[in-house]
């Protein structure tokens, strides 16, 4: 007798039901969704942290400037997501609200780790309670408090701090390039060049500078800034 597939038994119909081998299939589907999203890269360099992402502008008549891939969360924090765009927008807007509320209540900028934990708590809740589905999105949070920090959050609500990492399509190949070429004391220009080179490698003939979105936060002024388009074009 052939074993019955998980789908036939209905183990993938809700995020709260474990399969016989101890898996939450809805959560695994969410992770697969992330791997199909447009790639994004985060790198901690000597004096700050940067984000570079592919906006995946595939239609000739689409206005590239209207596609926003990297968002400002607070004065000292930026974020980018990959996977389901609408899920990323909702969670980043929640992060913006959390950061604003912290400033109003405590009159000080929120610590990165506290913001990341709050967002991951929301993600985890959607793997535990019925009536919804897991968020099909991974988010990179980049910012500075006492030091530059880069956090990756996945659909399960798990988070890790990185010196450099990637999410989305081609993330394995990009991570291999980062592991080979990353240096802890690298300059902003070197970090940006590494990120752009990695995107070019993955996207190949589809790469175009108009598809790239970039931002950074420096330790000097702790301000979120977008990377100038002319600077990107020269790389």
Structurally, at CATH architecture level, domain 38-233 sits in 4-Layer Sandwich (3.60)
On the question of pLDDT at 122 being above 60, the answer is yes
On the question of pLDDT at 54 being above 80, the answer is yes
Task: Give the confidence band of 1 by pLDDT, cuts at 50, 70, 90.
Answer: very low
So where are the chain's domains?
38-233
pLDDT for residue 51: 98
- Cβ atoms of 76 and 222 within 8 Å: the answer is yes
Give CA 76 to chain center in angstroms. Answer: 16
Distance CA 118, CA 74 (A): 15
Look at 11-25, 69-83, 178-192, 212-226 and tell me which has the smallest mean pLDDT: 11-25
What confidence tens digit (pLDDT) does each residue in 4-28 have?
555 546 777 777 788 888 888 888 8
Distance CA 228, CA 216 (A): 11
pLDDT for residue 235: 66
Q: What is the pTM of this model?
A: 0.91
What confidence tens digit (pLDDT) does each residue in 132-164 have?
889 999 999 999 999 999 999 999 999 999 999
């Amino acid at each position: 007798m052939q074993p019955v597939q998980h789908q036939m038994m209905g183990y993938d119909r809700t995020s709260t039901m474990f399969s016989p081998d101890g898996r939450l299939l809805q959560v695994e589907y969410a992770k697969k969704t992330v791997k199909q999203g447009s790639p994004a890269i985060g790198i901690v360099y000597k004096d700050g942290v940067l984000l570079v992402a592919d906006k995946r502008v595939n239609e000739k008549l689409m206005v590239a400037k209207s596609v926003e891939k990297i968002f400002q969360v607070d004065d000292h924090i930026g974020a980018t997501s990959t996977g389901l765009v609408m899920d990323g927008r909702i969670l980043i807007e929640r992060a913006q609200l959390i950061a604003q509320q912290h400033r109003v209540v405590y009159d000080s900028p929120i610590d990165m780790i506290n913001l990341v934990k709050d967002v991951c708590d929301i993600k985890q809740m959607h793997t535990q309670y019925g009536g919804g589905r897991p968020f099909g999105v991974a988010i990179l949070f980049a910012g500075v408090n006492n030091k530059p920090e880069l956090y990756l959050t996945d659909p399960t609500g798990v988070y890790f701090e990185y010196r450099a990492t990637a999410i989305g399509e081609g993330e394995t190949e990009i991570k291999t390039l980062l592991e080979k070429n990353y240096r802890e004391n690298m300059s902003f220009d070197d970090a940006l060049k590494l990120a752009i080179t990695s995107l070019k490698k993955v996207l190949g003939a589809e790469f175009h500078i108009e598809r790239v979105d970039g931002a950074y936060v420096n330790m000097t002024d702790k301000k979120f800034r977008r990377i100038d388009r002319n600077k990107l074009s020269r790389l």
